[in-house]
Amino acid sequence: MSITAMTMKQMSYKNIASPKGFKATGIHCGIKHKKKDLALLVSEVPASVAGVFTTNAIKAAPLLVTKDVVYQTGKMQAIIINSGNANACTGKQGMADAYTMQKLTAEKLGIDRNLVGVASTGVIGEIMNMEPLTKGIQQLDPIGELEGAIGFSQAIMTTDTVTKNTSHQTIIDGKEVIIAGTAKGSGMIEPNMATMLGFITTDANIESNHLQTALKSITDITFNSITVDGDTSTNDMVIVMANGLAENKTLTPDHPDWGNFIQTLHAVAQDLAKMIAKDGEGATKLIEVEVKGAISDAEARKIAKTVVGSPLVKTAVFGNDANWGRIIAAVGYSGATLDPNAITIHIGVTKVVESAEPVPFSEEDLLVYLKQPEVKIFVDIHQGNGQGTAWGCDLTYDYVQINATYRS
């Protein structure tokens, strides 16, 4: 079912506490020197929960704790997040510390510990300093106001330069339903997932199994379609909580408004994914690669991610260089099925390649275009009806500087 302007719209007050019954906060507890580093998201009632997690074989302790909540409990009422320390590759002590964070948060809120998720982001391989966390959890006071949501989004940041928030609303069974999200992510972004934490809230009434179906249906075309540097982290997750307080009839794939819900969830996820790509470490430009004519949508996404992830394409965009040879080379090594003599490429509205041969174009016009903060590349391989889009960013001197001194 398509979404019309009447059934879905973006909200001007974009924050994770917008859906009914959600509260949030973020404070400085002392893991970091000055910036906020401890965040809490709470639902008034236990919420249905769904999650997607990193494919890295090395998984951080808090991620393992949260996976158990998602897949074994199927309900979540709160999630506690710290930044500044990933609590990854920290062995038995790391697991004990993640469970302690879960336990202390549950006691603070007066809820079952199995309803509490845990997330951490920051430096890998350092034992968590639990003293500031223990004190900080006692100081958390989540609120349903914008101030709490802003604090939450600030406290989960690491090398991010901006907070990442969005919110959309739709109509289900005549009821207003809000879906909102907050994310962090700037480096080690090669999802399936990456150093990315995403938290999505909704007051929709939906069971966990159908919420998981909905999240999986949009993950490949949103969060798994961005890349910054090709590194896959140990801590990444996207969590969706649905507390049912909008009081619509229970959503299932057979519900007449299921399409409304899916497309609104997709809009929130795509907003967050693009914000992460745009805020890649040291980035100055968002790169969008749209591919059509592939033998399948999955093949089109593969080509798009390969192009947007190419270091040579990324550096060319940073240098405002219309070097389409790097683009067609990335298409060629993507592993997708293609005819090398049937490729068309546009940079912006300018055609630079037709049937794999150069087309005369104005270098001056493309120089002006490539200086814009968003650059779009279009590739048609003329093999089928598959379409896909991926997002990334340019590769700059600052990226090297940020990551050369990350632990300093």
CATH number of the domain enclosing 322: 3.10.20.340
Could you tell me if 179 and 290 lie in one domain?
no
Query: Measured between alpha carbons, how far is 376 from 370 in angstroms, rounded to an integer?
Result: 9
Q: Summarize pLDDT for 262-306 with one digit per residue, the tens.
A: 999 999 999 998 888 877 666 788 899 999 999 999 999 999 999
Q: Quick check: is 40 in a domain?
A: yes
**309, part of any domain:** yes
Residue 194: predicted pLDDT: 39
- Is residue 160 located within the same domain as residue 46? yes
Verify that 263 and 299 share a domain, yes or no. Answer: no
pLDDT, one tens digit per residue, over 144-203 is: 999 999 999 999 998 888 899 999 999 999 999 999 999 998 644 344 333 689 999 999
Catalytically annotated residues: 195
| Final residue before a domain boundary, out of 274, 307, 342 | 274
Looking at residue 401, what is its pLDDT?
Answer: 64
Query: In this predicted structure, which of 50-59, 291-300, 339-348, 354-363 has the lowest mean pLDDT?
Result: 50-59
Plot region of 84 (φ>0 → left; ψ -120 to 50 → alpha; else → beta): left
CATH of the domain at 259: 3.60.70.12
Same domain, 239 and 306: no
| pLDDT in the model for residue 339 | 96
Considering the domain architecture, whether residues 208 and 265 belong to the same structural domain is answered as: yes
In the chain, what percentage of residues exceed pLDDT 90? Answer: 76
For 188-274, where are the E strands, in sequence order? 196-202, 237-242
Tens digit of each residue's pLDDT (9 = 90 or more) over 347-361: 999 999 999 999 999
Kindly list the distances between the CA atom of residue 16 and the CA atoms of 24, 68, 194, 353, in Å, as whole numbers in the listed order: 8, 23, 21, 44
Residue 350 included in any domain? yes
Q: Are residues 245 and 299 in the same domain?
A: no
Residues 156 and 300 in one domain: no
Q: What is the model's pLDDT at position 25? A: 98
Same-domain pairing of 251 and 353: no
- Name 346's bridge partners: 351, 378
Q: Which residue, of 220, 245, 274, is where some domain finishes? A: 274
Q: Note the pLDDT of residue 188.
A: 42
The candidate with the shortest Cα–Cα distance to 11, out of 247, 177, 242, is 177
Query: Is 395 found in the same domain as 313?
Result: yes
Residue 202 lies in a domain: yes
Query: Is residue 299 included in any domain, yes or no?
Result: yes
Q: Are residues 365 and 291 in the same domain?
A: yes
pLDDT at 249 over 90: yes
Q: Which residue shows structure tokens 């509205």?
A: 349
Indicate if the pLDDT at residue 88 is higher than 70. Answer: yes
Picking from 290, 181, 285, the residue whose alpha carbon sits closest to that of residue 228 is 285
Cβ pair 273, 161 in contact under 8 A: no
Start-end of H helices in 69-182: 91-109, 130-139, 146-155
Which pLDDT does position 394 carry in this prediction? 82
Residue 260 domain-assigned?
A: yes
| 281 falls within a domain | no
User: Model-level pTM greater than 0.85?
Assistant: no
96 shares its domain with 182: yes
Is the pLDDT assigned to residue 14 strictly greater than 80? Answer: no
Q: Which of 274, 302, 329 is the last residue of a domain?
A: 274
Q: What is the pLDDT of residue 230?
A: 47
Q: 229-245: per-residue pLDDT in tens?
A: 445 678 889 999 999 99
Mean pLDDT across the chain: 90
260 and 127, same structural domain? Answer: yes
Q: How many domains in the chain?
A: 2
Instruction: Note down the domain range covering 187.
Output: 8-274
